Structure 1
Amino acid sequence: MSIASSSSLATLTLTHPLHHHRFHLSKPLQFSSSPSAAPTIRCGPRDNRPPLVRGRTLSTEAILAVQALKRASPDETKLESVVSKTFSRLVKQDLLAALAELRRQDHCDLALLVFNSAVRTEPWFGNDYAVYAEMVRMLGRNGKREEMERLVRDLVGGGVSDEDLRGLARLLKALVGAGEGELVREVYEAMKRGGVVADEFVFRVLKRGLKGVDGGDVLVGELERDFSAGAIR
């Protein structure tokens, strides 16, 4: 008797789920002793890269927008098309995060293009001094002094308000860190023209920055008179 044996091959298929990561010279300057503090949200990928500022971990949409912009460079026509068709469609958080990523990678020209053509044109932007501060830091570490001057002078030309003193202090600190005492002076004069009510922290940052400019002693003296003139509330 023959015994017939048969074996069947069972095929086991393991399916690994895909994990999608979401990278998804005028009236005196007034000072207030009640600084307005706004929380700063910092987040970013869990590695050694600097954290994103004023944004969030990059979403897929933001990543694709940044990649498209880099591919289009240096063709100006293509760059403008990417900004108008891609960046203009990003929600606020993605737009700011994409801008932060361009700054992190030190793509100065691309970051300036996105900032001027997409971010500043949004009705919600206003004058976000904290974003200006990050732009100044990027330009400063890359030696883009002329671009920094244009950026800041365009800002002060439109007037400076006291709606965000913390952001304004960050901008002043960035200018001081870049050694741009003259631009600090221009911001100070714009603050005076706008009747900005500054706090003690802003006063100290201004004082430090004005010491490095021509005629700084006179300006510091004027600043100290403004501060001690009873304009502390």
Structure 2
Amino acid sequence: MMASCVFSRWKIPYLASMYFRGVMRIPSKESFLCSRVMIPDIECSSSKTMWGFKQYHDGRPRGPLWRGKKLIGKEALFVVLGMKRFKDEEEKLQKFIKSHVLRLLKMDMIAVLTELERQEEVSLAVMMFKVMQKQDWYKPDVYLYKDLIISLARSKKMDEVMQLWESMRKENLFPDSQTYTEVIRGFLKYGSPADAMNIYEDMKNSPDPPEELPFRILLKGLLPFPLLRNKVKQDFEELFPDQNIYDPPEEIFGLR
């Protein structure tokens, strides 16, 4: 008797709460705001439910810049938009740089550079990097070079890659294996195996120990050039004696 009484006391409020939970909903903050302000572009769907789950729009703008909203301030975002707006008008772009870009703080300049690289505005990113190099706080940083060089190489702007490469070497900086790999791959796609071999020679003089990936990229890209490939193959076998190299039949690649 006591057990049934306790069960009934527990069950009735619980079932009542389950029943009235869907009927007497407290309006959310989003639905209250949407009822007071008519915004046609924002879907006020907090009142719409399906199988007990809310479907709502959180009100945030959708676009490529919103992904990094926590990493980029308003002034930096304004500069990114301004540089993109005037990128085809040299005179207006230089005026905009003098009036707005030079006012940015260090972290805002780095944020602008990173955002331009992310949006694949590599020419503007190079321009921004040159502005940063003239600042009093600038110190040679291999990672700034790395991201910029990789972005240029993937865009096949190899002339600008070599300009940055020479600037980096003047500052006594050596890239890492990923940077060597992307630049070598870029020159091979660009159709310039001689430049790829120059980067390869620079890699061998790097103080960091070599890795396999740039070697394998070269070995694959130099298949139409057997003399250059044999040289890289000999170096690879000396550095990595336990690794194997796949040599496809020569007639497949028209080497005979």
Q: Same fold (TM over 0.5)?
A: yes
Match of 1:161 in 2: 174
Gapped runs of 5+ residues in structure 2?
1-34, 43-58, 244-256
Match of 1:204 in 2: 216
3, 6, 15: which one aligns with 2:37: 15
- Report whether the alignment pairs 1:177 with 2:194: no
Match of 1:112 in 2: 126
Q: In structure 2, do the counterparts of structure 1 residues 159 and 111 end up closer, same or farther at CA, with 3 Å as the change threshold?
A: same
- Report whether the alignment pairs 1:195 with 2:212: no
Match of 1:126 in 2: 142
Q: In structure 2, do the counterparts of structure 1 residues 91 and 69 end up closer, same or farther at CA, with 3 Å as the change threshold?
A: closer
Cα pair 1:120 1:126 within 8 Å, conserved: no
Match of 2:159 in 1: 146
Cα pair 2:219 2:229 within 8 Å, conserved: no
Higher helix fraction (1 or 2)? 2
- Name the structure, 1 or 2, with higher relative contact order (CA <8 Å, separation 6+): 1
- Report whether the alignment pairs 1:74 with 2:90: yes
Q: In structure 2, do the counterparts of structure 1 residues 173 and 87 end up closer, same or farther at CA, with 3 Å as the change threshold?
A: farther
Largest Rg, 1 or 2: 2
Cα pair 1:129 1:168 within 8 Å, conserved: no
Match of 2:239 in 1: 227
Q: How many residues align?
A: 182
Cα pair 1:83 1:118 within 8 Å, conserved: no
Shift of 1:74: 0.6
Q: Letter of the aligned partner of 1:152 in structure 2?
A: W
Shift of 1:186: 1.9
Match of 2:113 in 1: 95
Shift of 1:160: 5.7
* CA-based RMSD: 4.1
Cα pair 1:165 1:198 within 8 Å, conserved: yes
Deviation per residue, 1:119-160 (Å, 9 max, x gap): 79754842442431112222x1xxx45334323343455556
Shift of 1:65: 0.9
Overall identity of the aligned pairs, in %? 16
